[in-house]
Amino acid sequence: MIYGIGTDICDVRRIRASLERHGDRFALKVLSEAEFKTWKARSARWPERGVRFLATRFSAKEAFSKAIGLGMRMPMTWRLCEVGKLASGKPVIVLHGVLKDWCEARGLVAQVSVTDETDYAASFVVVEQKEKNP
């Protein structure tokens, strides 16, 4: 059954401004270790793609935080919720640490979709709860 849904829209210009003000420190606050490596590589090749990568991750994590009903409150943290990618290009939510434990204890599984246009990035997350005794 569906446990929760979450959506978020993020202003890419605000992310760009935060990066200009705080540099890597801002990216390190939002991104997991694996995401940070991808972000570094993309930013080095094409800074604008780095900004958009960070904006879509920012919106996906906020959307996930709403879908699980916590918002950005423990055990939900930016870095424990990672947006990975399958070989097909489809994004997937990969959880870590106490957030992973919290979701596993409740049988929660997430699906995510992200998009971006010139000034905005947006995400939608559906969280399902697996049946205990199917």
Ligand X SMILES: CC(C)(COP(=O)(O)OP(=O)(O)OC[C@H]1O[C@@H](n2cnc3c(N)ncnc32)[C@H](O)[C@@H]1OP(=O)(O)O)[C@@H](O)C(=O)NCCC(=O)NCCS
User: Is 62 annotated as a binding-site member?
Assistant: yes
Q: Is 52 in the site for ligand X (CB under 6 A)?
A: no
Nearer to ligand X, 32 or 65 (CB): 65
Q: Identify which of 12, 14, 86, 109 has the alpha carbon closest to the alpha carbon of residue 53.
A: 12
User: Is 116 annotated as a binding-site member?
Assistant: no
Return all residues near 122 (Cβ < 8 A) that are at least 6 apart.
7, 8, 9, 10, 59, 114, 115, 116
CA 127/CA 46 separation, integer angstroms: 33
Q: Is 69 in the site for ligand X (CB under 6 A)?
A: yes
**Helix segments in the chain, DSSP class H:** 12-22, 24-30, 33-45, 47-67, 97-105
Q: Is 8 in the site for ligand X (CB under 6 A)?
A: yes
- Write down the least CB distance from residue 71 to ligand X, Å: 2
Nearer to ligand X, 40 or 109 (CB): 109
Nearer to ligand X, 34 or 72 (CB): 72
Q: Is 47 in the site for ligand X (CB under 6 A)?
A: no
- Write down the least CB distance from residue 59 to ligand X, Å: 9
Q: Identify which of 13, 8, 19, 24 has the alpha carbon closest to the alpha carbon of residue 83.
A: 8
Q: Is 45 in the site for ligand X (CB under 6 A)?
A: no
Q: Is 62 in the site for ligand X (CB under 6 A)?
A: yes
Q: Is 73 in the site for ligand X (CB under 6 A)?
A: yes
Q: Identify which of 58, 67, 60 has the alpha carbon closest to the alpha carbon of residue 109.
A: 67
Binding site for ligand X (CB under 6 A): 8, 62, 65-66, 69-73
